[in-house]
A and B are shown apart, each in its own frame.
Chain A
Amino acid sequence: MSVFTFLLLLGVFIFSILFGLLIWGIRSGQMDDLVTPGERILWEDPKDDSQS
């Protein structure tokens, strides 16, 4: 029982962390556009980085 409860609560704890990260990611706009960042990375060059 004790091991099972421990593992269950550990699972809930890990889930809470991942769940928090998911909410943070969405709220910070990382899910706003799933197309452009993947395309943009193909064209980015070092010159852009230094100037942006």
Chain B
Amino acid sequence: MAPCFYSYYGFIFSGLTFYGLGGHPSSARNGRKTRRLEVDCLHCLLPVRGEGDFCCSGCEAAHHFISASGLQDFYKLRAGKKLFSVIAELPPEFLDDEFAQNYVHDVTEDLKTVSFILEGITCSACIWLLEKIPFIDQRVKSVRVSMGSSSVQIVFDSKISLSELAMVFVRLGYKPHLYFDIKKDERKWILKVAVAFASWLATMHVSLNLYAGLITSMSQNVLFVTSLVSMLLALPAISYSAQPFYLNTWRALKVKRVNIDLLVTLTIIAGSALSLKNIFYGVNETYFDALTMLIAFLLLGRLIVHYAERKTKNESDLFRHKILGAYTKFKIGDVAVVKSGESFPCDGEVVEGSSFMNSSWLTGEEKLLPLSTGVKVLAGAINIGDEVRMRVGSVGHQTLAGKVLMTLQTTEKSDFSLLSEKLERYFVCSVILFIPLFVFLSRDSSDAWSKAMSLMIVLCPCALGLAIPSVVASAMAQAFKKGILIKGEKILEKISVINTIILDKTGTLTDPQLKIKEHYWKEEMIAERGLTKAELENLLSVVAERSKHLVLTPFKSKANNLPDLSIKEILGSGVLIKYKNHLIKIGSADFVGLQHTHECYSLTLVVDIDGSPVAGFKIESDMRAGAMEFVSDILNKMKIYILSGDKKEHVEEISGALKIPKENVFAQQTPQMKLDFVSQKVLENKVMMVGDGINDTLAFKKSHVSVGVSGGASFAMQNCDVYLMSPSLKSIGQLMQASYKVMRVIKLNLLWVFIYNLIGFLLVLKGTIGPLTCAVLMPLSSITVILFSTMQNYFGDKA
């Protein structure tokens, strides 16, 4: 499957070179090399480091694809808005067709539908661009974007495979993820809230007549009819909208627990029963308006929180499917064929063929490992190179990845909500005991029931129920706009107490993409051999397109075809090229035969023509954007450690630049070592783990807060508490500042609710206010809390 669609788009791409705007990058580069220090990427508008018009090859490809498709207006419509720089690549779930089909639904015999979550949607111009896809590829019938959830719903012809469909989005610069559309479930929630509000407002209108009847005289007939209508209008909220409270109460009681919903349920039942009694006894005192309001606001609070959480959820279980699912397909001793681009299904060893293995997501080490007969391979690692045959050594749960997965299933997070749950239980039990006691003690008083109802309304946790979720949901929504996905309402609370940060290096502190840091050209020597520098640049681009070597990826750009080119790749070493009667070697210094004393020996890549080195390149990962600022901001405020699977010298180079003390830097760490380190640190510290690969996920689960960074493995993304869509690590600093502010606002809200309800409680006991006044006062408290929470700028410059 994979080679088919890659070649299909490769064909399109080769055609695009004729439509590209701005000419060949090398010409632009040469022209501007000396007169500009920094320019913005033509595609995403982020600063370009180094030369060229684009910040990365992905942006360049997206720009050409958009231009060649006649959709250049996208760049006008976005009006200078910067795009999120996402690494637009095809996520591995699309390569497993059997797995991906679980997300596809039939519309008709020929049409299917699927939903994707897209990384990279930033502004309304993205809607315009994405919804134009049917014009680019006729096999796509419609694309509907939902900015709120960063998702798209696609109707497509069954002739296009899911991976081809996903590649269209990748080519436009977005990273798609398979997504179960849960709109139907959400509609039920919206319906419940809407019904509750409609019911409350209608009941309140009728109740105004009843309030008027208290001041002026009202005949018993009018009172009866009006009260009945009030009950009728409240019925939808009481019987339908309040169902979640009844169900939660029932579930809690079944396991002999009490929760705050029990109090809500009792208030609704008691309020309805008392109102019904008063209607038939001709007393002008019903509580339907207060009850419906209570239901509406409590549901609203839960809906707000649900919305914020929904944005962060992706139920993909790809890795379990790929690794643990392989258990049924292979037995120990079987020989499995693994094609280029596929992941190894089991641990084992190569029995035939030679290739390379990319296991960076598992081990954290950037280097590609050469594979030949007898070399051990790991389940989940990607085969980069030729097809190989492997003998299965261990399968499913017994593989290294399987063990990681199993540990994840059994590793429990510490329960930070224990204290609040205990308080909730004590509060509910106290109210349940207090109200009957109060009624019993005031049984001689004529207004005992009225006061009891007032107390139940006043003590009902309407504003209390909103005090935390409204702040958290508002902060989470603001975080989402900043490119930070927070997976759960308690995460912000946890972040606010963090005092230790543990950072992975590869892909976390460093950019996942390799870049050319230094380059040297000997143009006279090139000219002596009848070639030009531009010709060699083009040659490198062609080789980069055809080669599996990661180190050549920075050279990928538009390349003109060179028909008389013969390329032979020497796995693990370099590339031999025959071109215009010259033998050109591209590879490491050892590969081209340089002596240790040669000036170019330290370079990553050397180009050699007929035995003479003519060009050299130092290729490295950049420091991730914002890493310096983030680390320098927190260096004196909390402890920072680096744990990396990479070699010591690479790790120390980064830690030195960041001024992190050497004793806090640990290299060549396995997932288990990372887990052990974090386990030890969490005993005395509040630990945040920041990483990007599966090798970090064990440590993720043990840490108090885990942060997955943009461009990481999808499995890591699913298992972290916070995921950064924005590539800059500065977001973590902003998030920490926001968490402090969130905690301050929550405390103020709780204080406000406590004082407000205490005053209400005392006024009820004194007999100053009755149920109707309570019913009017209650929403004021809730509305104040919601307004105060939502009007805060949690991610403001000054927290």
A-B contact pairs, 19 of them (CB 8 A): A5-B225, A15-B198, A22-B195, A23-B191, A26-B187, A27-B191, A31-B187, A31-B190, A32-B187, A33-B147, A33-B149, A34-B148, A36-B127, A36-B145, A39-B124, A40-B124, A43-B77, A43-B128, A51-B135
Residue of B186, B229, B233 touching A32 (CB-CB under 8 A)? B186
Q: Is the CB of B142 within 8 A of A42?
A: no
B187 engages A29 (CB within 8 Å): yes
Query: A26: shortest Cβ distance to chain B, in Å?
Result: 5
A8-B226, A36-B127 provided; 4 other pairs, C-beta below 8 A?
A: A11-B205, A27-B191, A39-B124, A40-B131
Q: Mark B200-243, 1 if CB is under 8 A from A, else 0.
A: 00100110000000000001011001100100110010000000
Q: Is the CB of B127 within 8 A of A33?
A: no
Q: Does B254 contact A (CB under 8 A)?
A: no
* Complex contact A26–B190 (CB within 8 A): yes
A28 to B734, CA, bound (A): 39
B429 proximal to A (CB < 8 A): no
Considering only residues 164-192 of chain B, those with a C-beta below 8 Å from chain A are 183, 186-187, 190-191
* Interface residue? B146 (CB, 8 A): yes
**Known contacts A1-B219, A11-B205, A39-B124; A22/B149 CB under 8 A:** no
For residue A1, which residues in chain B have a CB less than 8 angstroms away from its CB?
A: 219, 221-222
- Residues on A with beta carbons closer than 8 Å to the beta carbon of B205: 11
Q: Do residues B148 and A35 form an inter-chain contact, with CB atoms below 8 A?
A: yes
A25 to B: closest C-beta gap in Å = 9
CB distance from B226 to the nearest CB of A (A): 7
The interface residues of chain A lying within 8 Å CB-to-CB of B229 are 8-9, 12
Interchain nearest-CB distance for A34 vs B (Å):
7
Q: Give min CB distance, B432 to chain A, whole Å.
A: 34
A26 x B194 contact (CB < 8 A):
yes
4 closest Cβ pairs, A-B complex = A39-B124, A43-B128, A33-B146, A35-B147
Give the chain B neighbours of A29 by CB distance below 8 A.
Answer: 183, 187
Cα–Cα distance between A25 and B487 once the two chains are bound (Å): 30
Q: Which residues of A contact B206 (CB under 8 A)?
A: 8, 11
A50 at the interface (CB under 8 A from B): no
Please measure, in the bound complex, the distance between the C-alpha atom of A12 and the C-alpha atom of B233, giving whole angstroms. 8
User: In whole Å, how far is A33's beta carbon from the nearest beta carbon of chain B?
Assistant: 4
Contacts of B149 in A (CB 8 A): 33
Min CB gap A31→B, angstroms: 5
Number of interface residues of B (CB under 8 A): 34
Q: Which of B77, B187, B219, B221 has the most CB of A within 10 A?
A: B187
Q: Is the CB of B142 within 8 A of A39?
A: no
Task: Considering the complex, give the chain B residue whose CB is closest to the CB of A9.
Answer: B229
Give chain A residues whose Cβ lies under 8 Å from the Cβ of B142.
52
Docked pose: A15 CA to B47 CA in angstroms: 56
Interface string of B93-131 (1 = CB under 8 A from A): 000000000000000000000000000000011011001
CA of A40 to CA of B77, assembled, Å: 12
Interface residues on A, range: 20 to 34
Taking a contact as CB atoms under 8 Å apart, the answer to whether A39 and B198 are in contact is no
A-side residues, CB < 8 A to B, are 1, 4-5, 8-9, 11-12, 15, 18-19, 22-23, 26-27, 29, 31-36, 39-40, 42-43, 51-52
In the complex, residue of chain B having the shortest beta-carbon distance to the beta carbon of A4: B222
Q: Is the CB of A15 within 8 A of B191?
A: no
- Cα distance A52–B222 in the bound complex, in angstroms: 56
Please give the distance in Å from A47's CB to the nearest CB on chain B: 9
Chain A residue nearest to B141 in the complex (CB): A52
CA separation between A3 and B125, bound complex, in Å?
Answer: 56
Per the bound structure, the CA–CA distance linking A17 and B113 in Å amounts to 34
Nearest-CB distance from B201 to chain A (Å)? 9
Beta-carbon contacts of B138-167 to A below 8 Å, as 1s and 0s?
Answer: 000010011111000000000000000000
The answer to whether B127 and A15 have CB atoms under 8 Å apart is no
In angstroms, Cα B225 to Cα A9, docked, is: 10
- B199: nearest chain-A partner, CB-CB: A19
A23 and B124 CA atoms in complex are apart in Å by 29
Instruction: Give chain A residues whose Cβ lies under 8 Å from the Cβ of B221.
Output: 1
A12 to B226, CA, bound (A): 11
Chain B residue, CB-CB nearest to A33: B146
Is the Cβ of A22 less than 8 Å from the Cβ of B225?
no
Q: From the candidates A9, A19, A33, A43, name the one contacting B124 in the complex (CB within 8 A).
A: A43
* Bound complex: CA A19 to CA B237 (Å): 12
Between A5, A18, A34, A36, the greatest number of chain B beta carbons within 10 A of the residue's beta carbon is seen for A36
Provide the bound-state CA to CA distance between A52 and B131, in Å.
Answer: 10
Nearest A residue (CB) for B129: A43
A39:B187 contact, CB within 8 angstroms: no
Contacts of A27 in B (CB 8 A): 187, 191
CA distance A23 to B195 in the complex (A): 8
A35 to B477, CA, bound (A): 13
CB closest residue in chain A, given B232:
A12
Q: In the bound complex, do residue B147 and residue A39 qualify as a contact, i.e. CB atoms below 8 Å apart? A: yes
**B-chain residues with CB within 8 Å of residue A33 when the two chains form the complex:** 146-149
A contact residues around B148 at 8 Å (CB): 33-36
- The CA-CA distance from A19 to B234 in the complex, in Å, is 13
CA–CA, A1 and B288, complex, Å: 23
Contacts of B236 in A (CB 8 A): 19
A interface footprint on B492-516 (CB within 8 Å = 1, 0 otherwise):
0000000000000000000000000
In the complex, A50→B434 CA distance in Å? Answer: 68
For A8, A9, A27, which residue has the most chain B Cβ atoms within 10 angstroms?
A: A8
**Residues on the B chain within 8 Å of A51, using CB:** 134-135
Tell me if B146 and A36 are in contact (CB < 8 A). yes
A46 to B125, CA, bound (A): 17
Chain B residue with the shortest CB-CB distance to A32: B183
Task: Please report the C-alpha to C-alpha distance between residue A36 and residue B183 in the assembled complex, in whole angstroms.
Answer: 15
For the complex, what is the distance from the CA of A4 to the CA of B127, rounded to whole Å? 52
Give Cα distance in the complex from A11 to B237, angstroms.
18
Residues in A with CB closer than 8 Å to B186 are 32
Q: In the complex, A11 Cα to B148 Cα: how many Å?
A: 36
Given the complex, which residues of A lie within 8 Å of B124, measured CB to CB? 39-40, 42-43
Chain B's nearest CB lies how many Å from the CB of A43? Answer: 4
Q: Which residues of A contact B145 (CB under 8 A)?
A: 36, 40
**A39–B127 CB distance below 8 A:** yes
Q: Give A19 to B191 CA distance when docked, in angstroms.
A: 11
Tell me, rounded to whole Å, the shortest Cβ–Cβ distance linking B701 to chain A: 34
A36, B147: Cβ atoms under 8 Å? yes
Least distance between B30 CB and chain A CB atoms (Å): 37
- Distance in angstroms between the alpha carbons of A35 and B147 in the assembled complex: 6
Given contacts A11-B205, A12-B232, A26-B187, contact A19 B147 (CB under 8 A): no
Which chain B residues lie closer than 8 Å to A12 at the CB level?
Answer: 229, 232-233
CA distance A44 to B206 in the complex (A): 44
Q: How many angstroms from the CA of A26 to the CA of B241 in the assembled complex?
A: 14
Q: How far is the CA of A26 from the CA of B190 in the complex (A)?
A: 7
Q: Which of A18, A31, A43 contacts B127 (CB 8 A)?
A: A43
Q: How far is the CA of A9 from the CA of B125 in the complex (A)?
A: 49
